[in-house]
Chain A
Amino acid sequence: MAEKILAIENICKSFGGLLATNDVSFNVNKGEILGIIGPNGAGKSTVFNLITGFYPIDSGSITYKDQRIDGLTPDKICHLGITRTFQVAKPFPGLTIADNILVACLPKAAKVSDARAKVDEVLKIVSLDKKADVLGADLTTLERKRLELGKALATNPEILLLDEVMTGLKPKEMDDMMDLIRELKKTKTIVIVEHVMRVIMNISDRIIVLDHGQKIAEGLPKEIAENNAVIEAYLGRGAKKDA
């Protein structure tokens, strides 16, 4: 029996009149990779924004290790051990890569020198150690994605929420990134939102599917691939007859 580390129960969120997240519930188990998929606008990123406190939820509850975290601010949630990356990578453009990582290490470091000592280690994990003095603004897409991951890792999270880390990468780069994520799985719990099916089917232990803000399926990658509702959501209403 897997140990439940994060429980999302019946969360709702609407913007204006639009229901972006509608009564979504799911659990995240310790040490797993949970994939979240769904068509454009299904509300995947919104779920991340709700878990990490960037938007307040309208109703429902989010519980992390027996503690309610809905209503907390993003920085508090990060301190508890949940860190996210952003779909559009957000490097600090005016800071060097080393300082980008340093800033991420600082909130959990007792002293600035402790944080500084950690920077090289993180840079090596995401293969940016040769770019330490480059400014955040001057990175390639791959490097930005790596830095985004590196910053999240620097906060030493228990749960890592990865928002489309593969977008814009070449197939070879994707393979490298997948290897990296599998490596991370050894010590962390990972929730990953992804568009690229090959990736998500490959690395996820479990998958949930969102469509129009609702959860329409949950299961093993194999089950999801054969699920009619999922195929319908992706290919449109007419697809069912042919499937």
Chain B
Amino acid sequence: MGILALVLLVVYFLPLTVFARHILVLTLFYAFMGTGWNLMCGYAGRLSLGHAAFVAVGAYTSLLLFSHFSLTPWIGMIAGGLVAVVVMMLIAYPSFRFGLIGPYFTLASIAVAEIVHYLLIYGRDLTGGSLGMSLPYVKETTIINSLINLQFDGKEPYYLVILGFWLVGLLVTWKMERTRYYLEAIREDQDAAAALGISVNKNLIIAACISAFMVAIGGTFYVQYFRYIDPYSIAGFTLSLNMALVAVIGGSGTLFGPTIGAFLLIPLTEILRMTLGAQIPGLHLFLYGILLVVCIIFLPKGIASLPGIIRAKKAKNDQKPENQASKGVL
């Protein structure tokens, strides 16, 4: 992890084009979002296709606080994260309490995102409705000023910010080693986990809340970077799906899965969009969808599972049993 972070820090000093920097920012953004999504949906196996709800809550909270009270987005994102946690509790508690699993949980998550979506449109006096909201531009005067307002004229500072977010996200996930094991056990068999002394609801709710908090903070970053949000882009199904996709393609329930997925998918989509998007709108997403379906069919556990599959094949060929105890998922 440290080496990877170092490499990415070195990348910062490379003379890259604006487009390349943009791709890097987006990639890290989705790596971070996927890491947040992964905590609840990958490790605990509760597939949410409505995580955009929490992104939107985070984004709108910090944006509203900034435009009405000039509150720095740094505090705004904490506030947004907390509101997202509250929203998550409203849905997570009854979901886990009533034992909503499998497709039922997924449908509930989609419904929550839809509700947030419609409420954002309905509250047009505050949120601008489906026309969306722009981030009030503050002219860059001093570095301190830019930092406080989390607004920069170039892409480079955003790169550093999202690199930091992503690192913290990975670190948080990594530090939760015990919880990760519990969540995996709960995913595999809830009753068996409970019988072994694992509190199912407590661990699920912890995972759900941290997950919501993380993607809500990502929402604030989205606002600051794109300077414009609307309900369709930030509470819509596509964003929810994208968070899930980077994690699933990379390998959900593994520490680096979402990051691997993001580094593979996002540059690919963006380059496809650049080269094909102008001539034939939709072609890049069409190819993206096909890639996804093929990946799910042939590599359902994601790219992170490849080494394991290769090792298993090798072990079968060699006929040598490995007696080494597993060192856990890392």
Seen from chain A, the residues whose Cβ lies within 8 Å of a Cβ on chain B are: 52, 54, 73-76, 78-79, 83-84, 86, 90-96, 98-99, 102-104, 106-108, 112, 116, 119-120, 129-130, 132-133, 136, 151-152, 154-155
Minimum distance in angstroms from B300 CB to a CB of chain A? 12
Residue of A74, A108, A151 near B194 (CB, 8 A) is A74
State in angstroms the CA–CA spacing of A78 and B226 once bound together. 51
CB atoms of A155 and B196 under 8 A apart = yes
Say if the beta carbon of B328 comes within 8 Å of chain A: yes
| B167-198 interface with A by 8 A CB criterion | 177-178, 181-182, 184-185, 187-189, 191-198
CB-nearest residue of chain A to B184: A95
> Looking at chain B, what size class is its interface with the partner chain?
20 to 34
CB atoms of B192 and A92 under 8 A apart = yes
Given A130-B321, A133-B324, also A99-B191 (CB < 8 A)? no
State in angstroms the CA–CA spacing of A137 and B264 once bound together. 30
Minimum distance in angstroms from B319 CB to a CB of chain A? 14
Minimum distance in angstroms from B96 CB to a CB of chain A? 13
Say if the beta carbon of B70 comes within 8 Å of chain A: no
CB atoms of A103 and B326 under 8 A apart = no
State in angstroms the CA–CA spacing of A52 and B193 once bound together. 13
Residue of B177, B192, B328 near A90 (CB, 8 A) is B192
> Which 4 A-B residue pairings sit nearest by Cβ, starting from the closest?
A78-B197, A92-B188, A107-B197, A90-B192
Minimum distance in angstroms from B162 CB to a CB of chain A? 30
State in angstroms the CA–CA spacing of A155 and B198 once bound together. 10
State in angstroms the CA–CA spacing of A108 and B189 once bound together. 19
CB atoms of A99 and B181 under 8 A apart = yes
Can you list, as one digit per residue, whether each of B237-267 has a CB less than 8 Å from chain A (1) or not (0)?
0000000000000000000000000000000
Say if the beta carbon of B325 comes within 8 Å of chain A: yes
CB atoms of B191 and A98 under 8 A apart = no
Residue of A86, A106, A129, A154 near B181 (CB, 8 A) is A106
A-side contacts of B322, CB under 8 Å: 133
Residue of A76, A96, A106, A119 near B182 (CB, 8 A) is A106
Residue of A95, A96, A103 near B196 (CB, 8 A) is A103
Minimum distance in angstroms from A204 CB to a CB of chain B? 23
State in angstroms the CA–CA spacing of A94 and B182 once bound together. 13
A-side contacts of B188, CB under 8 Å: 92-95, 136
CB atoms of B325 and A119 under 8 A apart = yes
Say if the beta carbon of B84 comes within 8 Å of chain A: no
Residue of A86, A106, A133 near B192 (CB, 8 A) is A86
